[in-house]
């Protein structure tokens, strides 16, 4: 696989994960938040989940997908790098949290997924 195709495949794979989270956040905010123990019992909480998990997830998915098109031009690699850095920031926050309290198994799975997605994007970054 050429480096460009590898970068595009990595971006689209990570975009799929963000799209899945985003769509779930928009359509089923209560279910998505319940995975991490948040009870979305008020419109304010559901609004927050729709914004942060839903809207943000869909926006990142669209940006990563767009980064694979000729229209993205020189912005494409930077968009993939910025997403990888954001994912690494999430991992860093989880590691700090793991150091100060027990969070269970699911956050570890999320951390591994975020680390894997960042590695995919960085490995294919050009």
In whole angstroms, give the CA distance from residue 119 to residue 13. Answer: 12
In this prediction, residues 90-105 reach a mean pLDDT of 94
pLDDT at 126: 62
Question: Would you put residue 37 in left (φ > 0), alpha (ψ -120 to 50) or beta?
Answer: left
Which tokens hold the place of 15?
């975009």
Alpha-carbon distance 107 to 45, whole Å? 20
Residue 75 has pLDDT above 80, yes or no: yes
* pLDDT tens string 21-37: 999 999 999 999 999 88
Give the helix ranges, DSSP H, for the chain: 3-27, 29-34, 43-49, 56-66, 75-100, 106-123
């Amino acid at each position: 696989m050429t480096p460009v195709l590898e970068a595009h495949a990595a971006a689209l794979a990570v975009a799929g994960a963000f799209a899945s989270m985003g769509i779930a956040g928009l359509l089923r905010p209560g279910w998505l938040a319940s995975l991490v123990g948040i009870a979305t019992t008020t419109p304010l909480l559901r609004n927050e989940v729709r914004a942060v998990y839903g809207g943000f997830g869909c926006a990142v998915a669209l940006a990563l997908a767009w980064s694979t098109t000729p229209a993205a031009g020189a912005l494409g690699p930077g968009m993939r790098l910025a997403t990888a850095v954001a994912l690494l920031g999430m991992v860093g926050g989880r590691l700090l949290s793991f150091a100060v309290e027990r969070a269970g198994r699911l956050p570890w799975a999320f951390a591994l997924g975020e680390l894997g997605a960042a590695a995919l994007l960085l490995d294919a970054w050009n």
